[in-house]
């Protein structure tokens, strides 16, 4: 990496925007870097890739936020789960939250019952609200799937016998 005869150092924290636990995955690849430190007549060069990636992500985030509309449907990646719902990354740097009540048409105790971090899911934008750092985006999984009660009369007829499992008593 670098000019012939020069060795360049990139700290692991500066190779990507996310935590890197397997730095060997970057060996042999070619990237653009920003020179952060140049000392000893060019014998000590320190670079960063992170700042370039963050600038690209910020530009993409701005473009995405300008085009974001209610009722839009996106495929996102679940980034983390909380007792009250799941956070979904729509594009790098932009996350929305799916409340537990919007994850499924069935009642859930925990989000883990239907999603896990890393899952790709389709979500619909329900609300866009002002936030401290960026807008808060409320999402829904169940609204993309459609209401199961809408076509229930096509599947079941009065007098038809079916087998089911009791899931709870009220």
List the pLDDT tens digit at each of the 170 positions of the chain: 445 567 788 888 999 988 888 888 888 888 999 899 888 776 788 899 999 998 888 888 888 888 889 999 999 999 999 999 999 999 888 899 999 999 999 889 999 999 999 999 999 999 998 877 778 999 999 999 888 888 888 888 888 999 998 877 88
- Phi and psi for 83 in degrees, rounded to 5? -60, -25
DSSP 6: -
Rounded distance, CA 98 to CA 111, Å? 10
Residues 6+ apart with CB under 8 A from 84: 99, 100
Q: Please tell me whether the overall predicted TM-score, pTM, comes out greater than 0.95 for this model.
A: no
């Amino acid at each position: 990496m670098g000019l012939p005869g020069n060795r360049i150092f990139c700290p692991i924290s500066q190779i990507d925007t996310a935590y890197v636990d397997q730095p060997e995955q970057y060996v042999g690849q070619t990237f653009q870097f920003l020179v952060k430190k140049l000392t000893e007549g060019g014998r000590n060069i320190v670079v960063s890739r992170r700042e370039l990636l963050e600038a690209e992500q910020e530009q993409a985030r701005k473009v995405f936020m300008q085009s974001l509309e209610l009722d839009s449907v996106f495929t996102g990646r679940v980034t983390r789960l909380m007792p009250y719902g799941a956070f979904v990354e729509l594009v790098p740097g932009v996350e929305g939250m799916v409340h537990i009540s919007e994850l499924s048409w069935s009642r859930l105790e925990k989000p883990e019952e239907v999603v896990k971090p890393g899952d790709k899911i389709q979500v619909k934008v329900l609300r866009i609200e002002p936030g401290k750092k960026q807008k808060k985006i409320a999402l829904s999984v169940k609204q993309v799937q459609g209401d199961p009660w809408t076509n229930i009369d096509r599947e079941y007829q009065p007098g038809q016998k079916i087998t089911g499992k009791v899931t709870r008593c009220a």
